Structure 1
Amino acid sequence: MRSSAAVVVIPLFLLVVAGAGAQGGDADAPAPAPAATGGWVPIGGDVRGNGFYRQVAKFALVVRMLAFRAEEELTLVEVVAGSVQAAGAGNNYRLLLRAADGGGVGTYEAVVWGVPGSTAWTWRVLSFRRVAGDQN
């Protein structure tokens, strides 16, 4: 009989980011994300239905759990809005998202730096914060 246990695949870049956050101030921690080289530009089109921005938001939620050692797990409900800013070889993505925990749905802001499509750069969660309370 087969086990019903779920298999979770964590990409290598996620482990690098998670390990860096858990180590504190070690000398071998990754360098900070590059400085912004432009202003914030609103993301056009349907950000709610865009798979790329959902993936970035899910990445921020996973890093929040693993690297920042959050106590409660959040599940992505939707990406509400976002903006992008050029930064070095990649971009900063500031996403407004709704996520659920056991007590309801809250609104959060995540800022993530990364280079889309690259395997040579480690994505980084620059900040993650709650911006609005629970809704049932």
Structure 2
Amino acid sequence: MRSLAAVLFVVLAAAVAGAASARPVDPPGADMPAGTHPPQIARFAVLVYSMNRNAKLKYVGVSDSDVRPHQGGMRYKVVVTVADAGGATAQYQVLVWGIPGTYQWMLLEFKKIKIN
């Protein structure tokens, strides 16, 4: 369990650093706290899921997002479109909990909802 937490810490640090230098593809939601954008959250979720499941998934975009305060942090519910190694796309409902401005983030759910 500790090794997974260490991997998540490193992955989040890399995702945050990469997202800070890259221009966002999707505009951030108006109700999102500063520094937390749905594409950034979705990329984090795809990366963590892919590493955990040894899957070759690639982030494509975000079609819906919602954020709510939850247990001292924020709960992000995002619908993300993902492409597999063959190029086929599917949509997933992603649930991420985290504290903006920290490295405390957890992927709680990554569930397929629609095949394109």
CA RMSD after TM alignment:
2.4
Structure-1 residue corresponding to 2:40: 55
Q: CA deviation at 1:73?
A: 1.5
Structure-2 residue corresponding to 1:112: 96
- Greater C-alpha Rg: 1
Q: TM-score, normalised by structure 2?
A: 0.67
Structure-1 residue corresponding to 2:111: 129
**CA distance in structure 2 between the partners assigned to 1:16 and 1:132 by the alignment:** 27
**CA distance in structure 2 between the partners assigned to 1:65 and 1:103 by the alignment:** 15
Change in 2 beyond 3 A, CA 1:107/1:16: closer
**CA distance in structure 2 between the partners assigned to 1:14 and 1:58 by the alignment:** 18
What is the number of residues matched between the two proteins? 90
Q: TM-score, normalised by structure 1?
A: 0.58
- Which residue type is aligned with residue 82 of structure 2? A
Q: Percent identity of the aligned residues?
A: 29
Which string of whole-angstrom CA distances, capped at 9 and with x for unpartnered residues, describes residues 59-98 of structure 1? Answer: 101110223x24x311111110111121122111000011
**CA distance in structure 1 between the partners assigned to 2:8 and 2:91 by the alignment:** 27
- Which residue type is aligned with residue 109 of structure 1? Q
* 1:88 and 2:71 correspond: yes
Segments ≥4 residues shifted beyond 3 Å: none
Structure-1 residue corresponding to 2:57: 74
Higher helix share: 2
SS of alignment partner, residue 37 of structure 2: helix
- Which residue type is aligned with residue 105 of structure 2? W
Q: Structure 1: which 5+ runs fail to align?
A: 1-12, 19-46
Q: Structure 2: which 5+ runs fail to align?
A: 11-24, 29-35
Structure-2 residue corresponding to 1:5: none
SS of alignment partner, residue 56 of structure 1: helix
Structure-1 residue corresponding to 2:50: 65
